[in-house]
């Protein structure tokens, strides 16, 4: 089946640093989503990307949909302690409705003061 | 902001028993989903549901599983004859019917099978 690989698997950064993580696939996806998951909670949508090459920001977060449609990256600028969590990319092969999501392996982010 | 709610937050059951996990999707959403996350692993798709029928299901979603929308607000996942390996977080999600609408997830039900 389709697989999404995220890197890095985990990262420790200091507060105020910028963070970059990416997601690659062997298959094409038509929609890329980035979610954040805090312990004991469900994934929370951060950014949705619908077109190849699209660059979208949400506050300190910026994500891009790769032009090959096989990758995406997420940047977090000026990290703060509440950025701690697991970040998942998710791809959907269908830009229509009822899009089944394939989730990535996750990047665990820890922020030190 | 409207949200997907799931109950119970934690369910403990004995192997072989049946469990029903409940979800109330966001009220104007028409697509519903169940996903599963085994501890420490990624989130995996189980099933999608629209217009009172299953739209798509994964190989995980075998005859042991069933879904139902018993009324206008609830969406349930039934797991029959539970096994130890069914222990996981089960997330319900919903989305609007419009094109490209993203999924919104609930906080999950932690199922522990002993």
Instruction: Write out pLDDT tens, residues B50-71.
Output: 889 998 899 999 999 999 998 8
pLDDT reading at A97 higher than 80: no
Report, as an integer, the average pLDDT of A74-94: 92
pLDDT reading at A112 higher than 90: no
Residue A99: per-residue pLDDT: 67
Instruction: Write out pLDDT tens, residues A43-79.
Output: 999 999 989 999 999 999 999 999 999 999 999 999 9
Q: Cα separation of A31 and A92, whole Å?
A: 5
Which DSSP string do the residues of chain B spell out, in sequence order? ----EEE-SEEEE-TT--EEEEEE--TT--EEEEEEE-TTS--EEEEEEETTEEEEE-TT--TTEEEE--SSS-EEEEE-S--GGG-EEEEEEEE-SSTTPPPEE---EEEEE-
Residue A94: per-residue pLDDT: 60
Which of A33, A88, A98 has its CB closest to that of B42? A88
Q: In whole numbers, what is the pLDDT of chain A averaged over residues?
A: 90
Whole-number percent of chain A with pLDDT over 90: 75
Nearest to A26 by CA among A106, A95, A91: A91
Residue A39, chain B, CB below 8 Å: the answer is: no
User: Rounded to a whole number, what is the distance in Å from the CA of A82 to chain B's nearest CA?
Assistant: 18
Residue B1, chain A, CB below 8 Å: the answer is: no
Q: How many CA atoms lie within 13 A of B86 on its CB side?
A: 26
pLDDT reading at B101 higher than 80: no
- Between B1 and A100, name the one with better pLDDT: A100
User: Rounded to a whole number, what is the distance in Å from the CA of A41 to chain B's nearest CA?
Assistant: 5
Q: Using 50, 70 and 90 to split pLDDT, how confident is the model at A39? A: confident
B50–A98 CB contact, under 8 Å: yes
Residue B105, chain A, CB below 8 Å: the answer is: yes
Report, as an integer, the average pLDDT of A70-95: 91
Ramachandran area for residue B51 (φ above 0: left; ψ -120 to 50: alpha; else beta): left
């Amino acid at each position: 089946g389709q697989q999404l690989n995220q890197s890095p698997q985990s990262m420790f950064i200091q507060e105020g640093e910028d963070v970059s993580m990416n997601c690659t696939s062997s298959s094409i996806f038509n929609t890329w989503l980035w979610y954040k998951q805090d312990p004991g909670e469900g994934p929370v949508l951060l950014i949705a990307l619908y077109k190849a090459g699209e660059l979208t920001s949400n506050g300190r977060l910026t994500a891009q949909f790769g032009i090959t449609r096989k990758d995406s990256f997420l940047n977090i600028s000026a990290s703060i302690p509440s950025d701690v969590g697991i970040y998942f990319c998710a791809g959907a092969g269908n830009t229509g409705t009822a899009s089944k999501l394939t989730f990535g392996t996750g990047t665990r982010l820890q922020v030190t003061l | 902001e409207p949200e997907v709610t799931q109950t119970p937050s934690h369910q403990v059951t004995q192997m072989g028993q049946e469990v029903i996990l409940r979800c109330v999707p966001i009220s104007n959403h028409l697509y519903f989903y169940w996903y599963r996350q085994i501890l420490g692993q990624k989130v995996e798709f189980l099933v999608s549901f629209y217009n009172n029928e299953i739209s798509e299901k994964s190989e995980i979603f075998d005859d042991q599983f069933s879904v139902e929308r018993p009324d206008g607000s609830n969406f349930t996942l039934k797991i029959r004859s539970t096994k130890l390996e069914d222990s996981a977080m089960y997330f319900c999600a919903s989305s609007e019917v419009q094109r490209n609408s993203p999924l919104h997830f609930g906080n999950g039900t932690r199922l522990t099978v002993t």
